[in-house]
Amino acid sequence: MSSIQIITRRSFIRGLGLASGGLIIACNFPSSDEKDPVKRPFNGEVFEPNLFIQLKDNGELVLLASRSEMGNGVRTSLTSVIADEMDADWKMVSVKQATGDAKFMDQNTDGSRSIRYLFEPMRKIGATARAMLVTAAATKWQVEESTLKTENHYVINTANNKKLFYGDLIKEAAEVTIPENPPLKDPKDFKYIGKGLKSIDGAGYASGKPKYGMDIRLDNMKFVAVVRCPVTFGTVKSFDKTKTMAVAGVIDVVEIPKINKPFGTLGGIAVIATNTWAAFKGKEVLTVEWDYGSNKEYTSESYDKMILANVHKKGKEVRNDGNVNKAFKNAEHVIESTFQLPHLVHAPMEVPNATAWVHDGKCNVWAPVQAPQSARKEVADFLETELENITINVTFLGGGFGRKSKPDFVIEAVAVSKAINAPVQVVWTREDDIHHSYYHTVSAQYMKAALDKDGKVTGWLHRVAYPSIASTFAPDSGYAAGFEFGQGLINIPYQIDNVRCENGKAPAHLRIGWFRSVINIIQSFSINIFVDELAAKAKKDPLQFRLDLIGNDRIEESKSGHHFDSAKLKNVLKIVAKNANYGKDLPEGHGVGIAMHYSFFSYIASIIEVSMIDGKLKVHNIHSVIDCGTAVNTDTVKSQMQGAAIFGMSLAYYGKITAKDGVVEQSNYHDYQMIRMNEAPEVQVEIVKSTDKPTGVGEPGVPPIAPAIINAIYNATGKRYYSLPLMDHGLV
């Protein structure tokens, strides 16, 4: 047998350099130019790359992934675009994870924008490499490039079918000037894009090989648990560490400062130990006196009543078309409804954690972060040093959903490492995660519509009140931000002459942050249920009513370059109806519900069948259809849509965060539940085939789920619900 070598993760990554023969092809991109990011020609040297290719002389192709992998398949999807344009053999591909650095363009793995932002840059990177290899082969053979083609890691001479392996061309290719505008493939020739490519990390998941944040181990590393004020934004008055220091394994106790920045620490007391369990046990017996501050008055029950009252009076206008008051005055019918949704929390399976080592003017971090550049900036600001002194190593994420875009847990680790001059790993408990998160916002909504004698909607009023994400970044005005209105409120896809949208006041009392699908969840919930109400009042079929309400086929231009196409929205509705056999006879106690939403530039429609037997809800099947433009990896798109369905069901059934006297009342999965396997339905997904630009996938599948369930319950029982979770109504 050959000898076994022990290779550390760090030495392995170092080994991916140019120790052996290889060609690095790199592209520098202007960081803010999304439309045409490939502008700077190759200068004959090894660049500081953005997204890059490393082709070795044995043919091994190492592709860089700049976005974070959290079950979203992004490492496979992004790199497969490069491989496709290169005509590379996927079996020869491995992936290297980028550190957090602006040279890799926007690395925020949120907003359903990884593929949306990087599809074209990835194509150009791959096409550039392919063009250089073709030029190298033409030079070697002394033939015209037009006589050559590429296929599966080879350049082929079409005149005589001779082949040159990519690995045998690296020396010649290194001398080729990088082309500014390499030809891209015709989409009909894609080999991986649009297909169901297996995850490059799948085998590793099955064998437990990927490194998650809590897998990191450094020499002399200490383990840390942090005690934070039960009331958000409260501070430490004093503490007594006597009992904590008596716990076996506890080394020290230090105070962490409160940092009043969007992603700074909440502050608290850090218990430092030789292992995580000892840190947790020491934390349990620490005596702390807190200054709770004014937020101790925050109680969900009274707050919900307040914002509910605010949506029943005139608010701040954010859209006003036509004359809504006149439409109501002349209406045959006027319909009104009020909706309320609670705070939600991400609760990913992997809790927040980070390993940090501050030494010799440098700081190294290993953490499951969705926004490594934000983490790097926050660390540099905290340490009052230059970005160049900070390295953010991105591990695999055990779920994120937006929570790990906020690096407060990273700053905690850095603060403790600096304080004790040793590497440390901070690990949150599940209770920490649920008590001290950045929450999805609580909301109240009021809707009013006018119908004429033919059942046509002639007037539409929608008022919303919810604490804004903007409150995390700036002094809280109590009103929502413009980008939040654009997530389903002011951009409804319906043709209605008279529309008014208003915003009521709702000050924030918790940290409000991004959450999977963000405000689309709130506004899709009310609108989809309300449209079903209108259809019932008009005595029309809910599907046909929606198709009529969308109106004429039209394209509404957007500065984003992704223009709204009403025909695409109607198309996903028609397809999902066909797939679900909409209109079929159902058993007694069964009902189906429809919902649709346009978000992240994708078109989604869902039909859900439920039963209500002896007052208990069961979801039997979910049919969803998505038009997301070019679907880079169909397996990933389907998985994301299936995951969105289960995620949306969890929110509908159980999702609820409340506060009493400033303290979040939920603490773990027993009182913030998720859908279990025995509750999970069949989820069928169809992807509309398209060669249009890719749009979002990770988030847009969530917003239609809860309202479709509510509409299905109504069709099964005749009773409609206007608030969540359904457990509060005794249905689950």
Q: Where are the domains of the chain?
A: 20-200, 213-294+352-427, 311-345+439-729
Q: How confident is the model at residue 31 (pLDDT cuts 50, 70, 90)?
A: very low
- What's the pLDDT at 3? 32
- What's the pLDDT at 720? 98
How far, CA to CA in Å, does 361 sit from each of 218, 380, 381, 383? 18, 11, 13, 9
Q: How do residues 144-172 score in pLDDT, each as one tens digit?
A: 999 999 999 999 999 999 999 999 988 88
Alpha carbon of residue 732 to chain centroid: 28
- What's the pLDDT at 387? 98
User: What's the predicted TM-score (pTM) here?
Assistant: 0.93
Measured between alpha carbons, how far is 405 from 93 in angstroms, rounded to an integer?
28
Q: How confident is the model at residue 559 (pLDDT cuts 50, 70, 90)?
A: confident
Q: Which fold has domain 213-294+352-427?
A: Aldehyde Oxidoreductase; domain 4 (3.30.365)
Q: What is the mean pLDDT of residues 372-400?
A: 97
How far, CA to CA in Å, does 57 sit from each of 100, 137, 153, 170, 642? 28, 15, 12, 6, 41
In which residue are the tokens 């859908």 written?
Answer: 675
Q: How confident is the model at residue 536 (pLDDT cuts 50, 70, 90)?
A: very high
* Cβ pair 698, 645 in contact under 8 A: no
- What's the pLDDT at 179? 87
Spatial neighbors of 171 by CB under 8 A, at least 6 apart, are: 21, 23
Is the pLDDT assigned to residue 488 strictly greater than 80?
A: yes
- What's the pLDDT at 137? 96
Q: How do residues 399-425 score in pLDDT, each as one tens digit?
A: 999 999 999 999 999 999 999 999 999
How far, CA to CA in Å, does 407 sit from each of 58, 88, 212, 437, 481? 40, 36, 16, 11, 22
Q: What is the mean pLDDT of residues 41-63?
A: 62
- Phi (first) and psi of residue 215, to 5 degrees: -85, -10
Q: What is the mean pLDDT of residues 616-628?
A: 98
Report the relative pairing of strands 287-291 and 316-321 from DSSP bridges: unpaired
Q: How do residues 93-108 score in pLDDT, each as one tens digit?
A: 999 999 999 988 889 9
3-state SS, residue 446: strand
DSSP 516: T
Q: Which fold has domain 20-200?
A: Aldehyde Oxidoreductase; domain 4 (3.30.365)
Is the pLDDT assigned to residue 376 strictly greater than 80?
A: yes
- What's the pLDDT at 560? 87
Measured between alpha carbons, how far is 294 from 614 in angstroms, rounded to an integer?
46
Is the pLDDT assigned to residue 34 strictly greater than 90?
A: no
Query: Encoding tokens for residue 65?
Result: 């992934």
Task: With CA atoms as reference, report the closest residue to 508 among 469, 457, 540.
Answer: 469
Helical ranges in 551-667 per DSSP H: 566-579, 634-654
- What's the pLDDT at 235? 97
Is the pLDDT assigned to residue 83 strictly greater than 80?
A: yes
Q: What is the mean pLDDT of residues 323-332?
A: 98
Q: How do residues 438-481 score in pLDDT, each as one tens digit?
A: 999 999 999 999 999 999 999 999 999 999 999 999 999 999 99
311-345+439-729 shares the fold of 20-200: yes
Percentage of the residues of the chain whose pLDDT score is greater than 70: 93
- What's the pLDDT at 22? 60
- What's the pLDDT at 535? 98
Kindly indicate whether the domain formed by 311-345+439-729 is annotated with CATH number 3.30.365.10: yes
Q: What is the mean pLDDT of the chain?
A: 92
Q: How confident is the model at residue 40 (pLDDT cuts 50, 70, 90)?
A: very low
Is the pLDDT assigned to residue 351 strictly greater than 60?
A: yes
Half-sphere exposure of residue 315, counting CA atoms within 13 Å on the CB side?
Answer: 29
Q: How confident is the model at residue 175 (pLDDT cuts 50, 70, 90)?
A: confident
Is the pLDDT assigned to residue 635 strictly greater than 70?
A: yes
Helical ranges in 54-200 per DSSP H: 74-86, 114-141, 170-174
How many of the other CB atoms lie within 10 Å of CB of 44?
11
Strand arrangement, sheet containing 424-427: 250-256, 268-273, 222-227, 424-427, 353-359, 362-367, 390-394
Is the pLDDT assigned to residue 254 strictly greater than 70?
A: yes
